[in-house]
Structure 1
Amino acid sequence: MSRPDYTRTSSTNIGSRGGARVLEGKLAIVTGASRGIGAATCTNLASKGCSLIMNYTSESSAKLAEDLATQLSQAHGVKCITVQADMGSENGPTHIVATALNHFAHPKTRKMQLDIVVNNAGVAGKTKIEDCTAEEFTWLYHVNVRGPLFLMKAAIPYLPNDRSGRVVNLSSVSASMGFFEDGMYGGTKAALEAMTRTWARELSERCTVNAVNPGPVATDMYAAAPKEFQAKMATYTKNTPLAAIRNDVDRKDLVENAELAGGRPAYDTDIAGVIAMLCTPDSGWYTGSVICANGGMKFST
């Protein structure tokens, strides 16, 4: 499967605007980094001078992750490594940090600083109450809730001690919008938002901790979603200020689908830009919050 050349996208231009590399020398873990929001986030962070530990889950994503790592290293002069680990497994998050140590720790002192953690990896499902199963519940909560928790537990010894660290958790508007059949999935994202607030207090001398809550995003997952799903979301999308389609600007496939979907979803670079903003030094007085990165589908209160 081929991927877009992210080094030529607008996210890279934004990231290096004015030649600014505000994350020069920083190190970030990004989970779910092989595609979609994760890949766009890696691109944005790398353009700002940040080195990366890029996590992916399945063998089918290996080449995507490795190609992107090579692309970003060559384009921005940063060090990027990939690591396969299942965020839903008990040992997957620990393996990510152990791999980071092997590649970035000082050879003698074994000291390493993790400046940024982006908990992006996640899975989704839409299930009515009567169709819920223990197996799906376990799968959703292990990946979306336990995974970020265990990754933070493994990362704590390596976070900065001067409040310069940044943690960004990927939530969803499903945590608060009450969408049909989102009881389990929305519940996982509500749990992640609750952990965001707690971690902001527990880690206040180490890092800021925030979450972002996208609505629909034009990723492979969105493209594969049934047309019925997009039609059900149309009412919400029509009331989303920034989702109004622009025929001369937006992607042709999104323009053609806009009548059914009620407008356009976010581009992955839209969300990556908000994530990257929260990772910069300028966001140092902002913590414990959920940023409404959804074009206005849900306004912040």
Structure 2
Amino acid sequence: MSKVWFITGVTRGMGAKIAKAALASGDKVVATGRQQEAVTKVLGTSDNLFATILDVTREDQVKAAVQAAIERFGRIDVLVNNAGYGHLGVFEETTLEEIRAQYDTNVFGLMTVTHAVIPEMRKQRSGRIINISSVAGLKGVFGGSIYNSSKFAVEGFSQAIAEELAPFGIYVTAVSPGFFRTDFLDSSSVKYSNNAISDYAKALAEFRDFHDNRNHAQAGDPRKLADVILQLAQVEKPPVSFVAGSDGLEWAMIVNKQQKEQLDAWRNLSVSTDGTW
């Protein structure tokens, strides 16, 4: 039986690859983006494709898109929250407006779409929610305070609703890719703060060089990740957290090792807070 996918941020990158893979498998796809014409330019047209405008920061557009999807295909089986971008740079240089914009898309936009889709899946007593996170949601690093924290929020949100929705046959997976060859590091996607503070200049320049040198040279193949996401939507019991890419897996293992070492090092102080009553 074919599935109905609802995918955000389909105009390029991972969203486009996932939509193409789902269509190629014979599934139906509700493909959304800020410009409907851009969606159809990437995916073309077919009976199995419904392209609709959606800015995830606009609650009215979210509700309208979900309702239109139900009217067109009758159900939503797989939600892929892919829309997002990276705001990088030193926290002190970042404006509050930039912080809010990052969270409005990566966190609140994702939650708004999920909030609109859950009632339909709960009625069906089935569904898959796949939240595109990042290994940046596993460990904070210099220059990533805003993006890191937004993806930490996605990880925690996914784990919590996974427990809430499992009784209704709805499974949630946060997918955390490492570096994949998309436009994520391109100047058309990633954003940096412009309020330069000289004390951070050298370290920030090295940080930017590191990422600029990997732009469109990342190891991960987005087409293969799209195929993996199709598999995750099919398996009986998908993982709540899934790390993609050899570099992502190495990163996650380092994070786990460092966390264990820190817990062990401070164990005595940690347990010293227990009461003696």
Q: Which amino acid aligns with 1:284?
A: E
Unaligned runs of 5+ in 1: 1-23, 105-111, 235-256
Q: Contact conserved, 1:88 with 1:142, CA < 8 A, in 2?
A: yes
Identify the range of structure 1 (180-189 vs 161-170) with the bigger mean alpha-carbon deviation: 161-170
User: What does residue 221 of structure 2 align with?
Assistant: 267
2:27 is aligned with 1:64: no
User: What does residue 102 of structure 1 align with?
Assistant: 71
SS in 1 for 2:172: strand
Deviation digits for residues 81-115 of structure 1 (CA, Å, limit 9, x no counterpart): 111111122333222202213322xxxxxxx3210
Q: Which amino acid aligns with 1:189?
A: K
The alpha-carbon distance between structure 1 residues 126 and 293, as it changes in their structure 2 partners (threshold 3 A), is same
Equivalent of residue 245 in structure 2, options 265, 290, 294: 294
2:210 is aligned with 1:232: yes
CA distance in 1, matches of 2:25, 2:43: 15
Q: TM-score, normalised by structure 2?
A: 0.76
User: What does residue 30 of structure 1 align with?
Assistant: 7
CA distance in 2, matches of 1:231, 1:273: 31
Alignment coverage as a number of residue pairs: 235
For residue 130 of structure 1, report the CA deviation from its aligned partner. 1.1
SS in 2 for 1:189: helix
The alpha-carbon distance between structure 1 residues 267 and 230, as it changes in their structure 2 partners (threshold 3 A), is farther
For residue 144 of structure 1, report the CA deviation from its aligned partner. 0.8
Identify the range of structure 1 (186-195 vs 264-273) with the bigger mean alpha-carbon deviation: 264-273
CA distance in 1, matches of 2:252, 2:125: 28
For residue 271 of structure 1, report the CA deviation from its aligned partner. 2.2
Deviation digits for residues 251-301 of structure 1 (CA, Å, limit 9, x no counterpart): xxxxxx7xx77x733222132122211111xx22124x2211132332466
Identify the range of structure 1 (27-36 vs 154-163) with the bigger mean alpha-carbon deviation: 154-163
2:43 is aligned with 1:91: no
Query: Root-mean-square deviation (CA), in Å?
Result: 2.5
Alignment of 1:1-301 (within 5 A): 24-57=1-34, 59=35, 62-70=36-44, 73=46, 79-104=48-73, 112-159=74-121, 164-204=126-166, 205-224=168-187, 231-232=209-210, 264-280=218-234, 283-287=235-239, 289-297=240-248, 298-299=251-252
CA distance in 2, matches of 1:201, 1:131: 38
CA distance in 2, matches of 1:48, 1:228: 43
SS in 1 for 2:87: coil
Greater CA radius of gyration, 1 or 2? 2
CA distance in 2, matches of 1:191, 1:66: 31
The alpha-carbon distance between structure 1 residues 232 and 67, as it changes in their structure 2 partners (threshold 3 A), is closer
Q: TM-score, normalised by structure 1?
A: 0.70
Q: Contact conserved, 2:143 with 2:207, CA < 8 A, in 1?
A: no
CA distance in 1, matches of 2:207, 2:227: 26
Unaligned runs of 5+ in 2: 193-204, 257-277
